[in-house]
Structure 1
Amino acid sequence: MAADTAQGTGPRHVAIIMDGNGRWAQARGRPRLFGHHAGAKRVREVVDACPDLGVKYVTIFAFSTENWKRTQVEVAGLMSLFRRYIAKETRVLFEEGVRVRFIGDRVKLDAKLISLMDELERMTACNDRVHLTIALNYGGRDEVARATKRLAEDVAAGRLDPASVDEETLPKYLDTCVLPDPDLVIRTSGEARISNFLLWQSAYAEYEFIDTLWPDFTRDVFAGLVQNYGTRDRRFGSVKP
């Protein structure tokens, strides 16, 4: 789904690379997991702000396929945090009209976490106030590889004519097939890279790389970035007459 090209129009879908939790904690002499817990609280603030800012969809990068390389202690702590966050927030997200989806490969996740994810998706399936997508064990290249495999299986089974495959075909096999492409991608903490996040979907997204560490990311910071997006001239490869 294409974004509105008109100047002054706010983003419908915002994707966020939530970076800087560990550095935020270490600057305070605390373990990295302390920062992750602080960062988790910011998710609610961002989701709560979306309706007033005209943002219908928000996608957050919670755990990448590369994050398994971190220490066993940090990975185990993050998985525990995800389980507790989902268990704690399910009722609130449901009551506030938030629809939650998860994207990424669930194979490496533990059964308890997968069960909580499934229940949260099921419970909020009829909500439409805000669509929150959580990228968990997600990598853009991994997503494209999995999508391509499913596409190839359909071709091999005769369900898809290879001659009909074009750039509109692959998105139907992506984890995000029911979502519009992001209009704005935000990365916190001063890093200026996309880190394998929504590679296909962000082809025409606007980017904001900001120095703020994720636990310091406030509603006002979010609102300012959304407002700034409205000043950009989005031409999608065309030129003004």
Structure 2
Amino acid sequence: MALKEVREHSGYSERDRERFLNEPAKRKGRTEFVRDRARIIHSFALRRLAAKTQVAVPWLSDFPRTRLSHSLECAQVGRELGAALGADPDLLESACLAHDLGHPPFGHNGEVALAQLAQECGGFEGNAQSFRLLTRIEAKTVDDDGISVGLNLCRASLDAATKYPWSAGENPKKFGVYSDDVEIFHWMREGAPSGRTCIEAQIMDWSDDVAYCVHDLEDALVTGQVDLAHLSRDLPLLHETARADYLADVSADEME
């Protein structure tokens, strides 16, 4: 089957589409950012999010979102929002799919526990772990010395997935790269203003907020982690909205 040539998004340069290790496409028909999207979708790190907690533990019910289903919803929001703002939609979808890859089981409690355990060896931060997965642990591509360069994503794809473009030395509470991974990080950020998050990463972050701000409440209500009756006293407007959207068939007496 003959595949047609595809046109790259005009808003991105050859430098944006450059890879840490040169890796020409094996066939026509896909843009560089489409290639990156496929690599993330087929990664083991993305699949493993299916067993990781978003709000409620995934084995108690098939209703609550996992980190994986949240990431898929985030990717849909990011794709449309990015396109509306003039960004490449495949690039934004890739960034959204990748944004939670490094987060451990048990939500942010798991991240805190691992950070305490790893204090003497560089600490642990979910965002920095995402970067390490993309650039080292996911062993899709290796260099001439047999060393993994991870998924070997384009410079722009990596930057779009980096919410905190600085190291622990600059901000030990929230950072995007471990000290052992600074070589590829500096390559990725070459020419970019120090400490400035690129617009695509900002869109990814907004999409994450949109995806979880309502859905986390929905999951908490359905699984009983938030008692809707309590909201009637503390947040009456939220109570009425949540009841109408999620529990319209439940009477006031039943909620009491």
Highest CA radius of gyration, 1 or 2?
2
Greater helix fraction, Structure 1 or Structure 2:
2
TM-score surpassing 0.5? no
TM-score, structure 1 normalization: 0.29
Q: Identify, as 1 or 2, the structure richer in strand.
A: 1
TM-score normalized with structure 2 length: 0.28
